[in-house]
């Protein structure tokens, strides 16, 4: 029974790792589509979401089956609960990557702002880094890595605030750019939420590593 539980946990963990890699690749492709105005590349991102949704369903069913069959306790139970939560957050991250792709398509009718696009791409790359660090922290069950992932989100938030203020000024001064600015604000929101779900994954990493269920926030040092 112990060997079978270990096998199921390993299989579920591998699926979740693959989900994280796929979500990261989806956002990377969406950012490329945004920068280059490549609507076909945006379609690829949108279509690739189906496979990730199927993987999420597999993890859901697998975790529930493992709990029902083996009655895990302690760290095994924390890990299975963590896998369930992390798979959900990764599925949502992929949804936001799809959102970036869709918003890119909707904004195609407007004249782009190259400088702003570069800022958005920078914000997206920072969001990707939060997600990658958080998934690595969960895989390693490393509390220090979890805190580092949460701190990495600060840069996303700062850039988001700066871009938002810039877009508000543009919309206020150039009425003809209002709809374009609204699309760009949607993009910043999608990228911010992608990173926020990365922080949620970091919180699950902390839970698996320490049994501590807490919200990770700016300036909060690791508990001693």
pLDDT per residue rounded down to tens, the chain (224 residues): 678 999 999 999 999 999 999 999 999 999 999 999 999 999 999 999 999 999 999 999 999 999 999 989 988 999 999 999 999 999 999 999 999 999 999 999 888 889 999 999 999 999 999 999 999 999 999 999 999 999 999 999 999 999 999 999 988 888 888 999 999 999 999 999 999 999 999 999 999 999 888 888 654 433 33
Q: What is the CATH number of the domain that holds 204?
A: 1.20.58.220
Q: pTM to 2 decimals?
A: 0.92
Range of the domain at 48: 2-210
In the block, which residue shows the tokens 């936001």? 96
Do the Cβ atoms of 117 and 35 come closer than 8 Å? yes
Q: How far is CA 17 from the centre of its chain?
A: 13
Domain membership flag for residue 27:
yes
How many structural domains compose the chain?
Answer: 1
What is the rounded distance in angstroms from the CA atom of residue 1 to the CA atom of residue 12? 17
Neighbouring C-beta atoms of residue 169, cutoff 10 Å: 11
Domain membership flag for residue 220:
no
Domain membership flag for residue 70:
yes
Do the Cβ atoms of 163 and 116 come closer than 8 Å? yes
Neighbouring C-beta atoms of residue 150, cutoff 10 Å: 26
Domain membership flag for residue 224:
no
Domain membership flag for residue 215:
no
Burial class (CB in 10 A: 0-12, 13-18, 19+), 214: exposed
Domain membership flag for residue 223:
no
């Amino acid at each position: 029974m112990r060997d079978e539980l270990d096998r199921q946990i390993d299989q579920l963990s591998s699926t979740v790792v693959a989900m994280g890699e796929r979500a990261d690749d989806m956002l990377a492709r969406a950012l490329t589509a945004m920068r280059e105005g490549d609507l076909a590349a945006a379609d690829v991102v949108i279509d690739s979401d189906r496979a990730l949704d199927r993987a999420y369903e597999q993890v859901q069913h697998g975790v529930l089956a493992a709990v029902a069959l083996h009655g895990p306790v302690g760290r095994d139970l924390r890990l299975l609960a963590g896998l369930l939560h992390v798979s959900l957050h990764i599925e949502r991250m992929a949804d936001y990557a799809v959102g970036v792709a869709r918003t890119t398509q909707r904004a195609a009718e407007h004249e782009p702002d190259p400088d702003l696009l570069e800022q958005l791409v920078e914000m997206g790359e920072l969001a990707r880094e939060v997600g990658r660090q958080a998934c690595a922290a969960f895989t390693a069950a490393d509390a220090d890595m979890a805190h580092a992932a949460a701190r990495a989100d600060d840069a996303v938030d700062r850039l988001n605030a700066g871009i938002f203020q810039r877009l508000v000024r543009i919309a206020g001064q150039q009425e003809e750019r209002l709809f374009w600015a609204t699309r760009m604000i949607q993009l910043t929101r999608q990228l911010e939420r992608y990173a926020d779900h990365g922080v949620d994954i970091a919180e699950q990493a902390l839970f698996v590593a320490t049994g501590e269920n807490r919200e990770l926030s700016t300036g909060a040092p690791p508990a001693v």
